[in-house]
């Protein structure tokens, strides 16, 4: 099978974070500070990524600003001619820190926001962060760096879609990603609290369409589909091990940020293997490449070249088998794993299990 080069590296430099979002994509078992890769180890990873053909690096976490060596990592990535993006909560993003990161070669910043109103946003984040985020957005715009923003959508904030778009436009965002929650990690633990009803989702999609007509020439808007209500799965990562790779805080190399949840796989570590070998030859990266691994109905399905069998993480978490047809698919024998959740939505579900608490 002809391998393609990875386009992007997601560098999860830490799992530490001041926020406690109940939909966080970090694994339930968060890595401690003492298990994080050292500065020199991360510098090696970045150089190896560039040699492998990676074009972009996205520094994320947790909260990457908690790494005091972040500027060194950004500078190394820039010197390796990578496009460098920072994904942040904005907490700790002072004017001085922005200047240092900009001087190091940072290209853009993606700032998260939880809701349009401060009270709701702070409730979702489990931290009084909304005003600090507004200040961070102002500092980013003043610095001249491009401001991109993202919102994870779920039952608690879907009714504010138009208001959130207006807020991000007011804060100066050039691009906004509206990402309906994906139910793995902490979001799966909180699925009863986060999963919206179909009617709420339809209303939110209508609000998005209205906002697109009103603001589409002022801000780039992206709507990430909520696959629980689709008939077919999304082409997760455009296929396993095809587009990008993630390096977790402890050095494990993953095909996507959630794949550490697949307990049936063992993932190689950059402390023991170089990045090129892991991408090209590791059992974990080759586990679901191509089509030979697929069971029926996927193997003979005409959609296998469209959705690549769907999400392997979702398949494992909902069926216990990472090879299974994604339960989102209407032809999957495990479709009941989705329909049962949709059918048992409790509008009065108990309070969130907050990340890291």
Binding residues for [4Fe-4S] cluster: 17, 21, 24
Whether the bond between 352 and the residue before it is cis, its omega within 30 degrees of 0, is no
Q: How far apart are the first and last CA of the chain?
A: 44
H helices of the chain, in order, are: 39-52, 70-79, 95-104, 118-125, 130-143, 161-171, 186-189, 191-194, 198-215, 275-281, 283-286, 304-307, 312-319, 336-343
Please report, in range form, the residues annotated as the binding site: 17, 21, 24
Tokens 């455009």 correspond to what residue?
238
Q: What is the DSSP letter of 160?
A: G
Distance of CA 93 to the CA centre of its chain: 20
Q: Which residues of 121-156 are buried (b: 16+ CB within 10 A; e: fewer)?
A: bbbbbbbebbebbbebbebbbebebbbbbbbbbbbb
What is the distance between the alpha carbons of residues 55 and 26, in angstroms, rounded to a whole number?
24
Contact present, 325 and 315 (Cβ < 8 Å): yes
- Could you tell me the two tokens for 68? 């005091």
What is the distance between the alpha carbons of residues 66 and 86, in angstroms, rounded to a whole number?
12
Q: Any idea what the Cα angle at residue 311 is, between residues 307 and 314, rounded to 5°?
A: 150
Angle between helices 130-143 and 118-125 (to 10 degrees): 100
What is the distance between the alpha carbons of residues 121 and 123, in angstroms, rounded to a whole number?
5
What is the distance between the alpha carbons of residues 333 and 339, in angstroms, rounded to a whole number?
12
């Amino acid at each position: 099978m002809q391998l393609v080069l990875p386009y992007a590296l997601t560098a999860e430099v830490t799992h530490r974070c001041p926020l406690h979002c109940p939909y966080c994509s970090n694994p339930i078992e968060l890595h401690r500070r003492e298990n994080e890769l050292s500065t020199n180890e991360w510098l090696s990873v970045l150089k190896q990524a560039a040699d492998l053909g990676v074009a972009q690096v996205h520094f994320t976490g947790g909260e990457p600003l908690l790494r005091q060596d972040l500027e060194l990592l950004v500078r190394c990535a820039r010197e390796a001619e990578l496009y460098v993006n920072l994904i942040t909560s904005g907490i700790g993003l002072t004017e001085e820190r922005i200047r240092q990161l900009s001087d190091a070669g940072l290209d853009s910043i993606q700032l998260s926001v939880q809701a349009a109103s401060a009270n709701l946003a702070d409730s979702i984040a489990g931290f009084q962060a909304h005003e600090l985020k507004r200040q961070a957005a102002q500092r980013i715009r003043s610095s001249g760096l491009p401001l991109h923003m993202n919102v994870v959508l779920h039952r608690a904030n879907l009714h504010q879609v138009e208001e959130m778009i207006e807020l991000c436009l007011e804060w100066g965002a050039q691009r906004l990603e509206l990402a309906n929650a994906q139910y793995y990690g902490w979001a799966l633990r909180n699925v009863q609290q986060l999963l919206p009803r179909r009617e709420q989702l339809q209303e939110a999609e209508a609000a998005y369409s209205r906002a697109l007509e009103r603001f589409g020439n002022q801000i780039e808007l992206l709507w990430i589909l909520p696959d629980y209500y689709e008939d077919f799965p999304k082409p997760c990562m455009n296929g396993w091990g095809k587009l990008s790779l993630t390096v977790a805080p402890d050095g494990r190399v993953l095909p996507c940020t959630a794949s550490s949840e697949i307990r049936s796989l063992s993932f190689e570590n950059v402390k023991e293997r170089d990045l090129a070998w892991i991408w090209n030859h590791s059992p974990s990266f080759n586990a679901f490449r191509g089509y030979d691994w697929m069971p029926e109905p996927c193997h003979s399905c005409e959609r296998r070249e469209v959705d690549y069998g769907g999400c392997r993480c979702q398949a494992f978490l909902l069926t216990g088998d990472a090879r299974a047809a994604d339960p989102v698919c209407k032809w999957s024998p495990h479709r009941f794993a989705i329909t049962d959740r949709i059918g048992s939505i409790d509008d009065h579900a108990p309070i969130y299990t907050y990340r890291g608490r």
